[in-house]
Amino acid sequence: MKTVSNNLFLLIRSLSGPEKRYFKIYASRHILGDKNKYLLLFEAVEKQKQYDELAIKQQFKDEAFIRQLTVIKNYLYEMILRSLDAYYAESSMDNNLKKQLHYIEILYNKGLYAQCEQVLQRTEKTATAHEKYLVLLELAAWKLRIIKTSRFYKTSEEEIEDLYQKRLNIIAKLGNYYAYESLNNKMYLRVMKKGWVSRDETEIKNDYTSIISNDLYADEVKALSPNAKALYYGTLSVYHYLKGSYKISNGHSRKFLQIFEQNPLLIDDNLDEYISGIRNLLFTAISLGDYNDVLKNIDRLLSLDVKTDILKAKVFAAAYLPRLIVYNITGQHDKAAMLVEEIERSILRYCNQLSQTDVLYLRFNAACVYFKIRDFHKALHFLSLIINSPEARSMPDIYANALLLNIIVQYELEAYDLLPYILRSTYLFLLKQKRLYQFEKIVLSFIRKLSDVPKAGMTDLLEQAKAEFLALAESNPYEKYAMEHLGFLKWLDTKIDRA
């Protein structure tokens, strides 16, 4: 019962204003008998901030339907889904193609084969244009069924062979696409586990080179369809970004987007992938220092015609995180602080649609903004949200960076009693996760010394730490990026100036 109630509450909370209005019209037309009880329950749940069944029972204690509340909740849940199905019936190509397939089935069952073939040919043309290979396989099966039912009347062996070859070609393209999709998903899965900042060549080789060394990445011609080609370039873009080859990564991201733009129907069918492609381009441009290009492509993102909340949330995360980073890098601190406030409002608005990964990255960069302008209390607020988040530990990169930045913030806030505990717990976490790289070791050692050093020796210790970090950055570009990401060297310069 609790699951049904929670599901109903969450479903109703997810509805937009137009969807709610449509449901009420739909319910009034389709619910037979005493329809008021469903609308009354809908409106009562709609007004609640948290589902409270006792309040519902109290509100309707004099109504007969309250004795069958579980049944009514189930029926209402199904009715809402049916109304959403009707509301979005024409909103996607997949829905339209499914409807056409159903028409083919109906006409076939009625023996109207000529009409069935007309719908089939029209649907095949659409499915081909949109690269809907599973639909094309179904259509080929219907073609063969019609041929068999007509006892091969007016059918030649050449037509049978042609149909067979078409099916093999569809299967080959489908298999090819799935192969690229699998490799692309493996790449992203490893990135989510390891983070976007690789720390040495061995890590790159062990985690990612095995994917790129697959024969499918030997040449673009290996990709047999535009969707497969997009995955080809998307995976290569991520790989070269991880290697620090930002110019090459940027070029692959542009080719990814060109494939979509040369096949506009693919954008309509895969808008979430197109959004991800622009997002990847934004981060390569940031790494290249091309901030004008970043802002131009953010405008491009925000101009997309997105209708669903899930896509609106994707656009928000893809556009606002790079903008926040650019404002922070370029010293536009007032704009950055205002943007953080807007981001927090949007996180609340899209709480059901945003991935926790996006939320954590947005909040970590918010902490970086306030760290840079020395508002350590606000920086600590955002770091605490990350460190205390149950999801953060499954993302060792963002969690580790939050722990490191937290140490510096706690030092700046003079939480000297807490520092030994924080240093030890951070060290143990990094050790366990095999993330105790040279940069992390120097930071931990430096803060430990810094909390004990007398004021007279402060400048020497700061200068020594800076020299160590610069030497490390010179010898290992992967470590350099980690330092820049946290803004550690700039913090050191500020401390030296104030010492």
pLDDT per residue as tens digits for the range 430-481: 888 777 777 888 888 888 877 676 665 677 788 887 888 788 777 777 777 7
Contact yes or no for 322/283 (Cβ under 8 A):
yes
Q: Is the pLDDT of residue 216 over 90?
A: yes
pLDDT, average across residues 157-161? 84
pLDDT at 331: 86
Contact yes or no for 177/225 (Cβ under 8 A):
yes
pLDDT at 35: 59
Q: How confident is the model at residue 270 (pLDDT cuts 50, 70, 90)?
A: confident
Per DSSP, the three-state class of 50 is coil
Query: Using one digit for the tens of pLDDT, what is the confidence trace for 57-78?
Result: 888 888 878 888 888 888 889 8
Q: Please write down the long-range contacts of 84-92, taking CB distance under 8 Å and 24 or more positions apart.
A: 84/19, 84/23, 86/22, 86/26, 87/18, 87/19, 87/22, 87/26, 91/307, 92/269
- What percent of the chain is modeled with pLDDT above 70? 94
Query: Using one digit for the tens of pLDDT, what is the confidence trace for 421-436?
Result: 888 988 898 888 777 7
pLDDT, average across residues 263-273? 85
CA angle 268, 270, 271 (to 5 degrees): 70
Task: Residue 165: count other Cβ atoms within 10 Å of its Cβ.
Answer: 10
Work out the mean pLDDT of the chain and round it to a whole number: 85
Best mean pLDDT range from 213-217, 398-402, 412-416: 213-217
Q: Could you tell me which residue, 9 or 255, shows the higher pLDDT?
A: 255
Q: Where are the domains of the chain?
A: 2-87, 93-155, 383-499
Q: How far apart are CA 63 and CA 37, in angstroms?
A: 9
pLDDT, average across residues 105-124? 89
Query: Using one digit for the tens of pLDDT, what is the confidence trace for 331-366?
Result: 898 999 999 999 999 998 888 888 888 999 999 999
pLDDT, average across residues 368-397? 88
Q: Could you tell me which residue, 218 or 198, shows the higher pLDDT?
A: 218
Q: How confident is the model at residue 2 (pLDDT cuts 50, 70, 90)?
A: low
- Which candidate, 70, 75, 76, places its Cα nearest to that of 57? 70
pLDDT at 277: 92
pLDDT at 495: 72
CA Rg value for the chain: 29
Query: Using one digit for the tens of pLDDT, what is the confidence trace for 316-332?
Result: 999 999 999 999 888 89
The backbone torsions φ and ψ at residue 249, rounded to the nearest 5 degrees and listed phi first, read: -60, -45
The pTM of this model reads 0.79
Q: Is the pLDDT of residue 176 over 90?
A: yes
Q: Is the pLDDT of residue 384 over 90?
A: yes
Q: How far apart are CA 52 and CA 58, in angstroms?
A: 10
Query: Using one digit for the tens of pLDDT, what is the confidence trace for 386-405?
Result: 999 888 878 878 888 898 88
pLDDT at 454: 65
Q: How far apart are CA 38 and CA 8, in angstroms?
A: 12
Could you write out the DSSP letters of every residue in 115-131? HHHHHHHHHHHHHHHTT
Q: How confident is the model at residue 1 (pLDDT cuts 50, 70, 90)?
A: very low
Q: How far apart are CA 412 and CA 409, in angstroms?
A: 5
* Residue 111: both structure tokens together: 């023996």
Contacts of 40 (CB under 8 A, 6+ apart): 60, 63
Amino acid (1-letter code) at residue 9 = F
DSSP at 207: I
The backbone torsions φ and ψ at residue 292, rounded to the nearest 5 degrees and listed phi first, read: -65, -40
Query: Using one digit for the tens of pLDDT, what is the confidence trace for 238-259?
Result: 999 888 889 999 999 999 999 9
* Residue 205: both structure tokens together: 């080789």
Contact yes or no for 426/407 (Cβ under 8 A):
yes
